[in-house]
Structures are given as structure tokens and as C-alpha cells.
Homo-oligomer: A and B are copies of this chain.
Amino acid sequence: MPEQASANSPASAAGRESFGSRLGAAMAARGPLCVGIDPHPALLKSWGLDDDAAGLRRFSLTVLEAVAPLAAAVKPQVALYERHGSAGMAVLEEILATARDESVLSIADAKRGDIGSTMAAYADAWLRDESPLAADSVTLSPYLGFESLRPALDLAAETGRGVFVLALTSNPEGASVQHVGGRDSVARRITAAAAAENSRYGGNLGSVGLVVGATVGSALTDLDMDLAAVRGPILAPGLGAQGATPADLRATFGDAYPLVLGTSSRDILSAGPQVGGLREAALRTLDGLRGQ
């Protein structure tokens, strides 16, 4: 990714283009594919790897080797590293650094959320240059209110990094929180807050993204959510093994489809452990997302 500021994209204090600008450029150049790096125990086993830190490392480096040249972003699933304690987190540090070296944007899928100085500590962990876990962006969970995420929103703007805030997910039990409130639902409030926040990024793709499930179906229209107005990236997990095709994505997101970063994990990962097989699976998904 280009790290220098250009005339029409805001440079951060760190001298790095904003995350939204960098991601927008990557999506334009490569297509809107994010590959999940999910070293689930069952996948490790099917790859012939042990369910330990060495297995995690081999798995993750193999996925990176296969997809770093062609994906707009990679998304390591933090839970699967945390499961191995500090040894797993050390592998994650290496994977995030390798993604940086190989010029593919990273999304740490951590779903963190807290308030005040504790939220500031999570922001420090994932969004500060000096942190061993620094990623290009991190996923956040807003149960404590969108505004509780303020320390991460501000640090991301300062360091040219980004966030993806959980908004509307496709798991059936998500409705019991996200759909509550009728015309002024929780999910709609999160979406509106992200749109407001992205005004700081001017005409560029904003650095405050949302997580919206690829298989939410009609919920977007039922809840009257205007995703196009968010003007930030929409991370849409659920492509492939979880049930959505690229055509479904287009139908579900409509006008907002240009903002959508389609995310596939198991569908691509189960094509491993050979780099060639992984790459072919990723290219196939990418072709679908590009409408080819």
C-alpha cells in the first residue's frame, strides 16, 4: 500500500494516508476481497498441523503467502490466537508484522469494546504504531454505546488506521439486541453514528467501517439502514461456506455495494494447505466479487 499522503487524501499525524484511503485504493486495484485467517482446530487438523502455536504460525504464514499479493485485506481472527495464550498472541504479532511487510492491509478481528481509559488501552493495543499488536484496523463491539469507542476512533484518525464497528449481524440471536427499537433500532443508531464520524474524512472513503453480515437478507431495508450514507467500508463476513454468493452481496447491499469488502474464510481456507490451492480459491472468490 502507498504510505505517502496524496493531494486529495488526508495524511495522518503519523504521515500515513488514512486507512479509508488506503483500503479504497487496495479495493480499486485488487478487488473487494478480504481473506479471513481463521486457524480453527478443525482446519489445523485437516491441514495436518498441530493445534498449538507452531501450527498456528505455519497455517497463518501459508495463508499470507497465498493471498497477500491479491487480497485487499486479511483478517486474522484474534480469538483463535488468544486461545493459545501469550504464545498464540506472539504468533499474531508476527502475522501482523508480516502482513505489513507484504503490503496487504490487516483487520484484527478482535471485537473489543470498553469505556474510558480501558477503551484507550484497547486502542493502544491495536492502533498505536509502537504496539506489538498494531494492525491497520480492528473490529469493535458497541454494547457500551458507539461513543464509548471514542478513544479508538480518535487514535485511528491520528495514526492513519481504521475501525470496523459491529452493526448488524446475520446470526439469528443478534436480532434480540440489534433490531430492538423499531424505527430507531440499535443497528440503525450505530450506522448513523458511523456516518457522522466519517465526515471528518471529507470526500474520501472514511476510516470508520461497519461489520454487516453478508446474509442479513431483508433486515437492512426492514430496519431502514442507509449504508451508502456511511461512506466507510462495510466488512461483510459470510461469503462462501457461511452461505452468501457474490450475487447475494450485490442484492443485499444494493447502492452500498461499492463500499462492501466481501469476507471469506472457510471457503478459501479449506482449499489449503497448498499455496496454489488457496490462491486459486481466493481468485475464484475475487472474480465473483468483481462480477466476472
- Listed in ascending order, the chain A residues whose CB lies under 8 Å from chain B are 38, 40, 77, 79-80, 82-87, 89-90, 92-93, 111-119, 121-122, 124-125, 131-133, 141-148, 166, 169, 171-178, 180-181, 184-186, 189
Q: A173 contacts which of B112, B118, B141, B148 (Cβ < 8 Å)?
A: B148
Do A124 and B83 form a contact, CB below 8 Å, given A77-B118, A144-B174? yes
The residue of chain B having its C-beta at the shortest distance from the C-beta of A40 within the complex is: B117
Do A173 and B144 form a contact, CB below 8 Å, given A80-B118, A132-B85? yes
For this complex, 26 residue pairs linking A to B, each with C-beta atoms less than 8 Å apart, are A77-B118, A79-B112, A79-B121, A82-B89, A82-B125, A85-B93, A85-B131, A86-B90, A86-B132, A111-B113, A113-B143, A115-B174, A141-B144, A143-B166, A143-B174, A143-B178, A144-B169, A144-B171, A144-B174, A144-B177, A145-B172, A145-B177, A146-B177, A148-B174, A180-B180, A181-B181
Structural contact, A82 and B144, CB atoms closer than 8 A: no
The residue of chain B having its C-beta at the shortest distance from the C-beta of A170 within the complex is: B115
State the 6 A-B residue pairs at the shortest beta-carbon distance, nearest first. Answer: A85-B132, A145-B173, A147-B173, A86-B90, A79-B121, A86-B89
The residue of chain B having its C-beta at the shortest distance from the C-beta of A124 within the complex is: B83
Which B residues are CB-close (under 8 A) to A121? Answer: 40, 77, 79-80, 82-83
Report the minimum CB–CB distance from A78 to chain B (whole Å).
9
The residue of chain B having its C-beta at the shortest distance from the C-beta of A184 within the complex is: B180
Report the minimum CB–CB distance from A50 to chain B (whole Å).
14
Structural contact, A173 and B146, CB atoms closer than 8 A: yes
Which B residues are CB-close (under 8 A) to A171? Answer: 115-116, 144-145, 148
Report the minimum CB–CB distance from A148 to chain B (whole Å).
5
Structural contact, B186 and A180, CB atoms closer than 8 A: yes
